[in-house]
């Protein structure tokens, strides 16, 4: 049996656009229609059903919950801030607090207001100032009840999918745009970090804990060739650590938020830059189980990733870790095996203080639509009926006792 510390944060994560429904002022809304993708539509109707959802969260023994605030609801038109939307999020946070659940709030989780995207989005020089105005409004409104903040969710995923691969809005395919967004997001975090701390000081509230949620993969060399090993080291830096190195140098991380899902198996056949940076093993050289989207399931990679963070000497919260799969028994096996690796890394000196499963409930999985099922709770999208999965009940035992068998 494995025992986690008493004060460990246990819970699950969601993001506004994926669960709330009806986010008509966000840039994904028109894009889904144009791109012929599943429409997020009503999603899980969490905007209305949050009280009922949080009753489930409480019944599952969670003591923490990560959610995001939707910028496009708060500021539907430039400079026009909605008190009504802000009040909604205040109510949401209170609904968590009144159930004894620690809220952890993300300010940017992939979506932007349409007006923001239409005027250049994250490539435009004004983006940082615009983001900060929104952060200022939200932080002041929630400071009294929120301690944990994630400024930006997965900057590396956002700028690569939206500005390099052209897979997400605005579907750019430009190295230079991606580089601009990379720089702007870093700057946005640094400035937002300072702003949030300044506001808490001004309001004389106990210090906040501010970070980003960094997407990290277990980057593993498939073969022992110099090319593959060299590419592995380069990708480890560019994909996983570069942003963290920079933000820790700026002293703007109070903890590290880690999102971990999968392995990235590096197999490089020649020295072309594209191969060095992107080529992966296509030959199933190191077979492993896959989730419903074909991602490798690689629990030992979580320990690997956590150990790579030791050098920063900061607390770590697993802000997302999850599996989309139809066979729920595999979900429990996934949680169990990943938690064992969290514990292993803790034994080797990584100060992990929380684990949030992705996701609380099935939801809108971006360009993949509603088919992938990540949830601890099953959603019937026709009736909006919630059904707690068996894996959620087993995870609840861990959340209640801190013990894993
Ligand atoms: C994102 C989530 C997403 C999940 C599964 C993370 O990259 O933060 O929004 O649903 O992975 O793909």
pLDDT attached to residue 36: 87
- Of 194, 172, 196, give the one whose Cα is nearest residue 121: 172
The alpha carbon of 17 and the centre of ligand 1 are apart by a number of angstroms equal to: 11
Cβ-based neighbours of 108, under 8 Å, separated by 6 or more:
68, 71, 131, 151, 152, 153, 188
Question: Is the beta carbon of 320 within 6 A of some atom in ligand 1?
Answer: yes
The alpha carbon of 301 and the centre of ligand 1 are apart by a number of angstroms equal to: 17
Alpha-carbon Rg for the chain, nearest whole angstrom, is 20
Phi first, then psi, for residue 153 (nearest 5°) are: -85, 125
Point out the ligand 1 atom lying closest to the alpha carbon of residue 153.
8
| Sequential pLDDT tens for the chain (405 residues) | 999 999 999 999 999 999 999 999 999 999 999 988 899 999 999 999 999 999 999 999 999 999 999 999 999 999 999 999 999 999 999 999 999 999 999 999 999 999 999 999 999 999 999 999 999 999 999 999 999 999 999 999 999 999 999 999 999 999 999 999 999 999 999 999 999 999 999 999 999 999 999 999 999 999 999 999 999 999 999 999 999 999 999 999 999 999 999 999 999 999 999 999 999 999 999 999 999 999 999 999 999 999 999 999 999 999 999 999 999 999 999 999 999 999 999 999 999 999 999 999 999 999 999 999 999 999 999 999 999 999 999 999 999 999 999
Phi first, then psi, for residue 400 (nearest 5°) are: -75, -35
The alpha carbon of 156 and the centre of ligand 1 are apart by a number of angstroms equal to: 12
How deeply is 343 buried, as exposed, middle or buried, from its count of CB atoms within 10 A (0-12, 13-18, 19+)? middle
What SS3 string covers 138-174? HHHHHCCCCCEEEEEECHHHHHHHHHCCCCCCCCCCC
pTM of the model: 0.98
Alpha helices in 309-403 (DSSP H): 328-347, 390-401
Question: Is the beta carbon of 102 within 6 A of some atom in ligand 1?
Answer: no
Using alpha carbons, list the distances in angstroms from residue 361 to 78, 95, 277, 365: 32, 18, 34, 11
Is the distance from CB of 142 to CB of 49 less than 8 angstroms? no
pLDDT attached to residue 186: 98
Dihedral sign for Cα 232, 238, 240, 244, please: positive
Residue keyed to tokens 């144009």 = 34
Nearest CA to ligand 1 atom 3: 365
Phi first, then psi, for residue 290 (nearest 5°) are: -125, 155
The alpha carbon of 218 and the centre of ligand 1 are apart by a number of angstroms equal to: 16
Partnered with residue 320 across adjacent β-strands are 259
Helix or strand (DSSP H, E) at 405? none
Helix (H, G, I), strand (E, B) or coil at 62: coil
Residue keyed to tokens 């979580």 = 302
Point out the ligand 1 atom lying closest to the alpha carbon of residue 261.
11
Point out the ligand 1 atom lying closest to the alpha carbon of residue 213.
8
Question: Is the beta carbon of 391 within 6 A of some atom in ligand 1?
Answer: no
The alpha carbon of 370 and the centre of ligand 1 are apart by a number of angstroms equal to: 13
The alpha carbon of 234 and the centre of ligand 1 are apart by a number of angstroms equal to: 24
Is the distance from CB of 387 to CB of 377 less than 8 angstroms? yes
Question: Is the beta carbon of 157 within 6 A of some atom in ligand 1?
Answer: yes
Among 19, 46, 365, 371, the mutation site with the greatest number of ligand 1 atoms within 8 A of its Cβ is 365
Is the distance from CB of 312 to CB of 250 less than 8 angstroms? no
- Of 360, 381, 342, give the one whose Cα is nearest residue 60: 360
Question: Is the beta carbon of 217 within 6 A of some atom in ligand 1?
Answer: no
Question: Is the beta carbon of 112 within 6 A of some atom in ligand 1?
Answer: no
The alpha carbon of 220 and the centre of ligand 1 are apart by a number of angstroms equal to: 21
Nearest CA to ligand 1 atom 5: 365
Question: Is the beta carbon of 154 within 6 A of some atom in ligand 1?
Answer: yes
Helix (H, G, I), strand (E, B) or coil at 114: helix
Is the distance from CB of 364 to CB of 356 less than 8 angstroms? no
pLDDT attached to residue 162: 98
Question: Is the beta carbon of 365 within 6 A of some atom in ligand 1?
Answer: yes
Q: Count of alpha carbons within 13 Å of 382, Cβ hemisphere only?
A: 0
Question: Is the beta carbon of 117 within 6 A of some atom in ligand 1?
Answer: no
**Could you give the CA distance from residue 153 to residue 79 in angstroms, rounded to a whole number?**
23
């Amino acid at each position: 049996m494995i025992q986690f510390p008493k004060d460990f944060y246990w819970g699950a994560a969601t993001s506004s656009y994926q669960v709330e429904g009806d986010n008509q002022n966000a840039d994904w809304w028109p894009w889904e229609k144009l791109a012929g993708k599943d429409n997020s539509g009503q999603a899980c109707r969490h905007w209305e059903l949050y009280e009922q959802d949080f009753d489930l969260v409480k019944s599952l023994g969670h003591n923490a919950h990560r959610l995001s605030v939707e910028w496009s609801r708060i500021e539907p038109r430039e400079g026009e801030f909605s008190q009504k939307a802000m009040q909604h999020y205040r109510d949401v946070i209170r609904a968590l607090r009144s159930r004894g659940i620690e809220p952890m709030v993300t300010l940017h989780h992939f979506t932007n207001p349409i007006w923001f995207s239409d005027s250049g989005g994250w490539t435009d020089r004004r983006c940082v100032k615009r983001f900060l105005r929104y952060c200022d409004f939200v932080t002041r409104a929630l400071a009294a009840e929120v301690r944990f903040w994630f400024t930006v969710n997965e900057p590396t995923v956002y700028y690569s999918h939206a500005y390099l691969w052209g897979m997400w809005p605005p579907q750019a395919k430009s190295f230079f745009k991606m580089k601009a967004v990379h720089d702007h997001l870093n700057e946005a975090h640094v400035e937002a970090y300072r702003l949030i701390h300044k506001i808490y000081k001004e309001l004389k509230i106990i210090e906040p804990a501010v970070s980003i949620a960094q997407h990290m993969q277990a980057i593993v060399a498939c073969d022992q060739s110099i090319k593959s090993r060299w590419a592995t080291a380069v990708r480890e830096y560019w994909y996983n650590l570069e942003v963290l190195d920079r933000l820790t140098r700026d002293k703007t991380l109070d903890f590290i938020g880690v999102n971990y899902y999968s392995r990235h198996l590096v197999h490089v056949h020649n020295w072309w830059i594209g191969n060095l940076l992107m080529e992966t093993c296509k030959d199933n050289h190191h077979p492993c189980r896959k989730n419903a989207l074909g991602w490798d399931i690689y629990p030992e990679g979580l320990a690997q990733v956590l150990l790579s963070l030791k050098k920063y000497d900061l607390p770590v919260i697993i802000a997302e870790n999850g599996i989309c799969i139809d066979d729920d028994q595999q979900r429990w096996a996934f949680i169990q095996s990943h938690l064992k690796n969290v514990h292993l890394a803790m034994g080797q000196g990584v100060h992990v203080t929380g684990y949030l499963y992705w996701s609380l409930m099935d939801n809108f999985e971006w360009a993949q639509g509603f088919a992938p099922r990540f949830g601890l709770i099953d959603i019937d999208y026709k009736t909006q009926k919630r059904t707690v999965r068996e894996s959620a009940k087993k995870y609840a035992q861990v959340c209640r006792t801190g013990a894993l068998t």
